């Protein structure tokens, strides 16, 4: 019987057979054309993307008495666990028409499984990590890390020694060191050491403007489930395998602000919130689909506005669209606070599990607007430090003169760590003392890492303060039991 | 999670004769059923949204996407194929 013939003999449909509302919603498709075009516009024009799918892998079981064997075990486990990660990521991009820029891996902090090994042996383990990243096709692998907020283990001490050489001789490995927490205070011995480690890392990669430092983050209150590099690691409380999603979308939020030049800040916050909801939903979807296709539990969506050097993909441009002549001027901190909060409020509703860093990033070299503001002299390190009090994640991708003393770098780290410790938030320092460069010169890293003007630091020394070392006690905020 | 069986085709560009003919030809050749079509023309700018059922498609999703984009290029249009869930997730709770 063709579909056009009507069977008049059929009994009338009883009322109980009238489709219930869920069935009606299934067919026809009830999304309006305007909404479909809005999604199209977000991706094609405003550069909405999923910044990263990061697979966390527990490698504690890879430890062997022999360092070489440990490295091989780690390599094997990563290659086995993440063999389909890139393929599944690419399939999801095609199926849903939303770009997934990076597929990455984070592993258990390496310091947790290298006690008894020497720095040289740990560098070799770093090479195995690099090879594993290359083999599965991810661009970065995080977890060459140590958590030393209260003090050093033998493994952590050797790992930190191994950082400069590892970052210089590998391409994909990222390193992070947690030097403080609200609960533990700040380990100033580690802060002292990290200033020197950063200097050495820059010198070993001097031919590439100190590129090694772009892969090294010093944290206070580091989080276990951060999907973003260079600070991602698979924390001690995480499951065997997990997928964490980092969303993006400064361009989408920027357009909301630009298209609403006259509304007051309360209304503006509301509109940013609505948009953040939609952006985050796309991350939630990608997370759920990837989790089901890979058979790996879905961890969290990280609600961060992550800029790239591309024009129109800038957090600085959002702040300027709010009415600041240049980011870095008075009012920047307030504008950023509003933005950061609105993104969180919209995002928190959109995802079942929110985590990671979840806050707007303000890296200098990775954000076209930040670069311009720094070059024009509108944005200083001091203002950036103030801005990190109201957003994630810290002084990020900042180039300073190559002759900056290690103690000054340590003091910059100590300041950021203090902000994090007192305000119970994550802060970080990813700073590049660019070898041979002076204030006003440029460093070029290329790709997502971008380029940056070398910014000036305070010339007055902090050496005696840093040389005291020891431990800054946990603040009264920690005593909340 | 269970992924839906439907996909959305968006066609954007200058209006001309034969757009629906061209796109639906690709779909028919691949055994893809059209569930809904709507189009608007604003100052010669043509937008069309199609809801299709890809469950019986003879080719993989990515291949269908390429064929449609290829046909779009021929007609001077941007043609995109996306899974329905992205729209449901973004615009409905």
What mean pLDDT do residues A263-284 have? 94
Give the DSSP H/E element, type plus range, for residue B45: strand B45-53
**Contact flag A35-B91 (C-beta cutoff 8 Å):** yes
Give domain limits for chain A: 54-88+102-220, 246-478
| pLDDT per position as a tens digit, A204-224 | 999 999 999 999 999 999 999
Of A40, A95, A291, the CB nearest to B83: A95
Both tokens of residue A185?
A: 């205070």
Of A289, A163, A91, A403, the residue nearest B61 (C-alpha): A91
What mean pLDDT do residues B46-52 have? 91
A63-92 residues touching B, CB cutoff 8 A: 91
pLDDT at site A47: 82
Chain A residues inside the 8 Å CB shell of B10:
36-37, 40
Chain B residues inside the 8 Å CB shell of A297:
none
- Residue B45: pLDDT band by 50, 70, 90 thresholds? confident
C-alpha distances in angstroms, B64 versus A310, A336, B52, B59? 30, 43, 12, 6
What mean pLDDT do residues A60-73 have? 96
Mean residue pLDDT of chain B comes to: 90
Q: Which residues contact A342 (CB under 8 A, 6 or more apart)?
A: A268, A269, A270, A272, A273, A276
**Contact flag B87-A36 (C-beta cutoff 8 Å):** yes
Does the pLDDT of residue B1 top 90, yes or no?
A: no
Number of cross-chain residue pairs from A and B with Cβ atoms under 8 Å apart: 78
Number of domains in chain B: 1
Interface test with B, best of A40, A49, A277 (most B CBs within 10 A): A40
- Determine the distance in angstroms separating the CA of A297 from the nearest CA of chain B, rounded to an integer: 11
- Residue A22: pLDDT band by 50, 70, 90 thresholds? low
Chain B residues inside the 8 Å CB shell of A37:
10, 47, 49
Least trusted range by pLDDT, from A14-23, A142-151, A322-331, A422-431: A14-23
Q: Is residue B86 situated within a structural domain?
A: yes
pLDDT at site A25: 43
**Contact flag B36-A28 (C-beta cutoff 8 Å):** yes
pLDDT at site B3: 73
Alpha helices in A231-354 (DSSP H): 250-258, 265-294, 315-321, 332-350
Q: Is residue B44 situated within a structural domain?
A: yes
DSSP letter (8 states) at residue A115: T
- Residue A13: pLDDT band by 50, 70, 90 thresholds? low
**Contact flag A29-B12 (C-beta cutoff 8 Å):** no
Name the residue with higher pLDDT: A20 or B58.
Answer: B58
* Interface ipTM above 0.90: no
Q: At CA A193, angle to CA A188 and CA A195, rounded to 5? A: 100
pLDDT at site A1: 40
Least trusted range by pLDDT, from A42-46, A225-229, A291-295, A423-427: A42-46
Residue A440 Ramachandran class (φ > 0 left, ψ -120 to 50 alpha, else beta): left
Give the DSSP H/E element, type plus range, for residue A428: strand A427-434
CATH number for A54-88+102-220 (one of 1.10.10.10, 3.20.70.20, 3.90.226.10, 3.40.605.10): it is 3.20.70.20
The domain defined by A246-478 folds into Anaerobic Ribonucleotide-triphosphate Reductase Large Chain (3.20.70)
Residue B38's domain comprises 6-91
Half-sphere exposure of A191 (CA within 13 A, CB side): 35
Q: Domain containing B42 — which CATH number?
A: 3.30.70.260
**Contact flag B86-A285 (C-beta cutoff 8 Å):** yes
Does the pLDDT of residue A5 top 60, yes or no?
A: no
pLDDT at site A2: 43
**Contact flag A33-B83 (C-beta cutoff 8 Å):** no
Interface test with A, best of B67, B86, B88, B93 (most A CBs within 10 A): B86
Instruction: Tell me how far apart the alpha carbons of residues A178 and A238 are, in angstroms, rounded to a whole number.
Output: 17
Q: Is residue B1 situated within a structural domain?
A: no
**If you measure CA to CA, which chain B residue comes closest to A347?**
B90
pLDDT at site A18: 61
Mean residue pLDDT of chain A comes to: 92
Does the pLDDT of residue B2 top 90, yes or no?
A: no
Q: Is residue B51 situated within a structural domain?
A: yes
> What proportion of chain B, given as a percentage, has pLDDT over 90?
65
What mean pLDDT do residues A470-480 have? 94
Least trusted range by pLDDT, from A20-24, A158-162, A361-365, A465-469: A20-24
- Determine the distance in angstroms separating the CA of B46 from the nearest CA of chain A, rounded to an integer: 12
**If you measure CA to CA, which chain B residue comes closest to A29?**
B51
Torsion angles phi and psi, residue A135, rounded to 5:
-65, -45
């Amino acid at each position: 019987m063709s579909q056009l013939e009507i069977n008049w003999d059929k009994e009338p449909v009883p009322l109980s057979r009238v489709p219930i509302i869920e069935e009606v919603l299934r067919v026809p498709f009830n999304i309006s054309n305007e909404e479909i075009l809005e999604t199209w516009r977000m991706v094609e024009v405003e550069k909405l993307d999923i910044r990263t799918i990061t697979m966390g892998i527990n490698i504690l079981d890879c430890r062997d008495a022999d360092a070489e064997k440990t490295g091989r075990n780690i390599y094997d486990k990563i290659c086995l666990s993440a063999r389909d990660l890139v393929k599944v990521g690419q399939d999801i991009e095609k199926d849903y028409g939303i770009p997934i820029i990076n597929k990455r891996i984070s592993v258990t902090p390496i310091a947790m499984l290298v006690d008894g090994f020497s720095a040289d042996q740990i560098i070799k383990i770093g090479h195995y990590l690099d090879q594993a990243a290359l083999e599965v096709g991810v661009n970065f692998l995080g977890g060459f890390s140590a958590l030393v907020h209260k003090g050093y283990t033998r493994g952590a001490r050797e790992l930190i020694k191994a950082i400069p050489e590892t970052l210089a001789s590998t391409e994909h490995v990222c390193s992070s060191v947690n030097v403080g927490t609200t609960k533990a205070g700040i380990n100033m011995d580690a802060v002292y050491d990290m200033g020197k480690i950063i200097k050495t890392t820059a010198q070993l990669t001097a031919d590439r403007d100190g590129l090694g430092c772009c892969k090294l983050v010093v944290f206070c209150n580091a989080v276990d489930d951060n999907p973003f590099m260079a600070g991602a690691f698979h924390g001690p409380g995480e499951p065997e395998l997990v997928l964490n999603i980092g969303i993006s979308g400064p361009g989408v939020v920027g357009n909301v602000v630009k298209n609403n030049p006259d509304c007051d800040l309360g209304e503006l916050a509301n509109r940013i919130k609505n948009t953040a909801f939609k952006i985050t939903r796309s991350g939630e979807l990608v997370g759920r689909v990837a989790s089901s296709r890979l058979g790996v539990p879905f961890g969290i969506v990280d609600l961060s506005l992550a800029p790239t050097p591309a024009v129109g993909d800038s957090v600085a441009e959002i702040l300027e669209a709010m009415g600041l002549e240049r980011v870095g001027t008075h009012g920047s901190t307030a504008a950023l606070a509003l933005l950061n909060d609105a993104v969180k409020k919209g995002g928190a509703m959109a995802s079942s599990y929110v985590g990671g860093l979840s806050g707007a990033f303000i890296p200098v070299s990775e954000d076209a607007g930040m670069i311009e503001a720094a070059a024009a002299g509108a944005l200083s390190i001091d203002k950036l430090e103030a801005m990190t009090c109201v957003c994630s994640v810290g002084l990020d991708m900042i180039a300073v003169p190559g002759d900056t003393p290690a103690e000054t770098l340590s003091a910059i780290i100590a300041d950021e760590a203090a902000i994090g410790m007192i305000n119970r938030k994550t802060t970080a320092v990813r700073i590049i003392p660019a070898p041979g460069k002076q204030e006003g010169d440029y460093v070029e890293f290329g790709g997502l890492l971008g380029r940056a003007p070398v910014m000036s630091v305070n010339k007055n020394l902090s050496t005696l303060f840093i040389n005291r070392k020891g431990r800054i006690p946990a603040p009264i905020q920690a005593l909340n039991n | 999670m269970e992924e839906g069986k439907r996909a959305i085709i968006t066609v954007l560009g200058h209006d001309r004769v034969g757009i629906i003919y061209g796109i639906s030809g690709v779909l028919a050749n691949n055994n893809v059923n059209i569930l809904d079509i709507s189009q608007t023309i604003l100052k010669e700018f043509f937008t069309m949204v199609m809801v299709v059922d890809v469950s019986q498609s003879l080719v993989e999703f990515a291949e269908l996407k390429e064929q449609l984009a290829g046909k779009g290029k021929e007609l001077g249009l941007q043609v995109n194929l996306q899974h329905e869930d992205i729209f449901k997730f973004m615009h409905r709770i």
